[in-house]
Amino acid sequence: MARKTQKIGLKERISSWRSNRQARNKRRSAIRNWNWVAILKVVAVLCFLAVSGAFLRYAEGYVKATNPVAEGGLVLVGVPDWANWDLKNTVAQVAGGTRFPLTEETAAVLARNLAPMSWLHEVSIQVTHDAVRVSAQWRKPVVVFDVPEDRLKRYVDADLVVMDYLPMPHLPIVEVKNVALNVVPLPGQRFDQGDMAAAVALALLLHRMDTEIAPKTPLLEQIASIDVGNYKGNKNPREPHLTLRSKDDVEIRWGAEIGEWAKYMEAKDEEKLAKLYTHYQEFGSLGAEGKVKYINLRSPQDRVYQPIDKYR
């Protein structure tokens, strides 16, 4: 049987096309409306976050203003008696001031600041509820020497550690002259060199002798310099290896470095000390009011002077 073909009229086609177009327009309108709604929601969220951030910053600033971080003063613990005000003030300047916030980071900051300070070692920092406490071992200068190229002075302590120069007029610091300066260590490093070590050892020996024999009028305070230019006789083996010069211009011919007297058939170190301190006690000074120009300590003596008994 033949299928009948259904004919659609022109009016029906136009009506169907209009219906389809209206449906498409509705869908497009819905999509546009949805996009605007989504955009408005995103904008609203961003505005809320911005306002919240501003409020939090304001609140944080308000809290800081009303509850500032506590501060504490710098306290130097175990400062030796010989450390003068200039040295303590310099330590405070290197540390970064006299007052610090009492926070966990403060100890690390101070440790980093004080690390290059050649006058201190074994530094320990403690932050308490009301202070920042710094304890350390303080290096005491024994001798001083010039660095001509840098036009500077440097100290050396008993362990041969080089230190920055600060005026210490109250300490009996002896100048070392004609020391070999092929390589000058930086502050905080050891000047482990024979001629410098010999000068430091002699200065320390005189200091110990003063403690026993002349604590009220130390002989070391009368010594201006130790000349090590002929150390081990490198210039003239017949001349004294070490020579001291007093502040009243008396030449003191010590001779070989400490412990080396036998190699050069000189007087023992104890005999040299005895002769020197006996002279000092007898005249009250090394120059004896201009009567003495030099004191020779190198020749062995038959007589043993009394101060050596106290030194032993």
**86, 42: one domain:** no
pLDDT, residue 310, reads 43
| Residue 33 token pair | 């409306």
Residue 200: inside a domain: yes
Q: Which domain holds residue 304?
A: 141-311
* Nearest partner of 184 among 202, 200, 201, 162, judged by Cα: 162
Contact 252, 246 (CB under 8 A): yes
User: CB atoms < 10 A from the CB of 148, how many?
Assistant: 7
**26, 80: one domain:** no
Mean pLDDT of 25-44: 56
**80, 127: one domain:** yes
pTM tops 0.85, yes or no:
no
Write out pLDDT tens, residues 199-211.
Answer: 999 999 999 999 9
Across the chain, what does the average pLDDT equal?
85
Supply the DSSP symbol for 222. Answer: G
CATH at 102: 3.10.20
**167, 275: one domain:** yes
**80, 218: one domain:** no
If one counts the domains in the chain, the total is 3
Mean pLDDT of 10-26: 59
- Confidence bin at 58 (pLDDT 50/70/90): low
* HSE-CB for 42 with a 13 A CA cutoff: 6
Residue 50: inside a domain: yes
**90, 191: one domain:** no
pLDDT, residue 48, reads 56
**153, 196: one domain:** yes
| Residue 133 token pair | 């406490």
- The proportion of the chain whose per-residue pLDDT surpasses 90, expressed as a percent, equals 69
